[in-house]
C-alpha cells in the first residue's frame, strides 16, 4: 500500500513515521510529478493552511488532488488538512480542496500559546490522545459527513466516505490507531 503525503509545508515527516510503522509505503508529494496514479491514499498534514493552499495552486496540484478525492481516493487531513478539505471556512473566505461537507473555524483554539493535549473518545476507535496546535474545529457537519469526536463540546473529528479529518495531530503521539483506521479505510 502506497500513501502520498503532501510535503509542501507542515508536519508531514511525523505522518510518514506513523504510516511506515504500520507497514505502509509512503512518498512525499512536493510537485505535480510526485502525484502519481500508483497512490492508494493521501495525507494532508497539519501546518499553515493558507501556505499549503497557495503552494497547492502554484505547483498545479490543487485540481488533481481535488479530482482524485472526488473520484474516491482515501484522504486523511489533520489540522490544516481539515481546513483544506472543508467546503466552508466560517472565518475565512477561502476554499481550498473543498471536498468535505463540513464548516470549520480556523485557529479556533487561539494562538500558539493556546495549544494543548487531551484525550478524546473517537467513534469506532476508543479513547485517543489528541494534540491541538492553533487548531480549528468543525462548526457544522453536513449531509453525508459523520461526527467522530468532540472536545469541550466542539466537533474535532469527522468522516465522509473516503475522507477522514481531525482538528488535532494524531501523528504527534505514539498512538497509531487513527493512522491504522485510515489504512483500514483503504483496504
Determine whether 79 is an active site residue: yes
- Measure the CA–CA gap between 153 and 36, rounded to whole angstroms: 39
Q: Dihedral (C-alpha) 133, 67, 101, 49: value to the nearest 10 degrees?
A: 20
CA dist 85 and 153 (Å) reads 22
With cell 468532540, the residue in question is 150
151-161 exposure pattern, b = at least 16 Cβ within 10 A, e = fewer: beebbbbbbbb
> Residue 28 catalytic?
no
Which residue in the list 16, 59, 79, 179 is annotated as catalytic?
79
C-beta neighbour count of 1 within 10 angstroms: 14
Catalytic residue among 14, 16, 59, 171: 171
185 dihedral zone (left: phi>0; alpha: psi -120 to 50; beta)? alpha
3-state secondary structure of 10: coil
C-alpha cell at 136: 480549528
Residue 63 falls in the annotated catalytic set: no
Q: Which of 147, 169, 179, 180 is catalytic?
A: 169
Query: Three cell numbers at 126?
Result: 476508543
Residues designated catalytic: 79, 169, 171
Amino acid at each position: 500500500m502506497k500513501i502520498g503525503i503532501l510535503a509542501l509545508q507542515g508536519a508531514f515527516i511525523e505522518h510518514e513515521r506513523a504510516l511506515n510503522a504500520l507497514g505502509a509505503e509512503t512518498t512525499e508529494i512536493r510537485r505535480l510529478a510526485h502525484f502519481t496514479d500508483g497512490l492508494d491514499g493521501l495525507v494532508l498534514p497539519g501546518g499553515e493552511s493558507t501556505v499549503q493552499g497557495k503552494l497547492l495552486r502554484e505547483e498545479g496540484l490543487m485540481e488533481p488532488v481535488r479530482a482524485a478525492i472526488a473520484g474516491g481516493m482515501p484522504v486523511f487531513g489533520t489540522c490544516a488538512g481539515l481546513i483544506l478539505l472543508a467546503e466552508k471556512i466560517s472565518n475565512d473566505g477561502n476554499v481550498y480542496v473543498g471536498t468535505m461537507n463540513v464548516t470549520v473555524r480556523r485557529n479556533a483554539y487561539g494562538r500558539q500559546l493556546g495549544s494543548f493535549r487531551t484525550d478524546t473518545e473517537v467513534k469506532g476507535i476508543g479513547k485517543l490522545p489528541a494534540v491541538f496546535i492553533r487548531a480549528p474545529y468543525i462548526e457544522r457537519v453536513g449531509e453525508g459527513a459523520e461526527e467522530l469526536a468532540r472536545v469541550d463540546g466542539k466537533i474535532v473529528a469527522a468522516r465522509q466516505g473516503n475522507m477522514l479529518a481531525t482538528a488535532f495531530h494524531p501523528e504527534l503521539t505514539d498512538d497509531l490507531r487513527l493512522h491504522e483506521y485510515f489504512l483500514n479505510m483503504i483496504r
